[in-house]
Amino acid sequence: MKIFFKKNPYRPLEKRLGYTFRKKDLLANALMHRSFRYESADIRNDNQRLEFLGDSALGLVASDYLFRLYPDIEEGPLTCLRSRLTSGKALARIGASIDLGDDIQLGKGEKASGGHQRDSNITDAMEAILGAAYLDGDLKAVRKIFERLFVAQIEIHPDDNWGDNPKGHLQVLAQQHWKTNPNYRLVKQEGPPHARVFTVEVAIAGKVSGAGQGSCKRDAQQSAARQALQNIPLTGGRR
C-alpha cells in the first residue's frame, strides 16, 4: 500500500540517522512491525522483507569499512570483526541510542507488553531501515547511516572479547580448529505468528555441537552457538 504524507513525520528520525529518505513510504514500511500488520486489514506488508535486504547491505558496507581500516588483518579475523560489528546486540544498542523504539509501529498487544523497548524489535527495525535506505539511495545511502551510527558508536578491537557475540566466537574457533564454518539448521518453529519460538541446531564439520531456542531465528542461532562453545573440545587439534 502506497503511503502519502502532507508533512514529513520522520524528520527527527532522519536527522538521527544522518540520511533523508526521498521515498518516505520506504521508511514507513521499515518501521512497521508484523504485529501492526496483523491488526490492520488494509496493510499487506511489514518490515520483514526489508530486514533481509538490510542485513546483506549492512554486511557489505561493514566488510568494505573493515577491509580498508585493517589492511594487514587476514580473512578470518576480519570475518569475526564484521560479525561483532553487525551483531543483533550491536544493532539493538545502536537503535536504542537514537530512540528507534519510539518510532516502530506496533500492534496493541506488542505495545502493551513493552515492545517498543524490546531488543529484537529494535534490531529488526534497524536492519529494515538499512534495507529501505538501500532501495532509496543504493549503498551510498547505507554508508551514510553506517558512518553516522556504527563507526561513531562501536569501538572495534581485534582482541576484544566475544561475550555478546557467540556466533562470531564460534566461527573463529571453527575456522581455527577445523577450517570450516558452523552450519545452522532450523529444527522446528512453534507458537502463533506473533509469538513464534524457533529451535536451531548448529553443526561443525558434520557433527551437531549445540542447540538453542529463541523468539527469532537470530536469537535461536546465538543460543545454539553459546551451547556449542561449552560443548566443543578445543584441545588435541581437530575432532
**Helix/strand/coil (H/E/C) assignment for every residue in 81-140:** HHHHHCCHHHHHHHHHHCCHHHHCECCHHHHHCCHHHCHHHHHHHHHHHHHHHHHHHHHH
CA distance 26 to 24: 5
Helix (H, G, I), strand (E, B) or coil at 201: strand
Helix (H) or strand (E) holding 227: helix 217-231
Q: Measured between alpha carbons, how far is residue 199 from residues 17, 37, 88 in Å?
A: 34, 25, 18
The phi and psi torsions of 142 (rounded to 5 degrees) equal: -65, -40
Which positions are catalytic?
55, 127
Do 160 and 89 touch, CB atoms closer than 8 A?
no
Nine cell digits for residue 116: 517498543
- Hey, which bits of the chain come out as E strands? 183-190, 197-204, 207-214
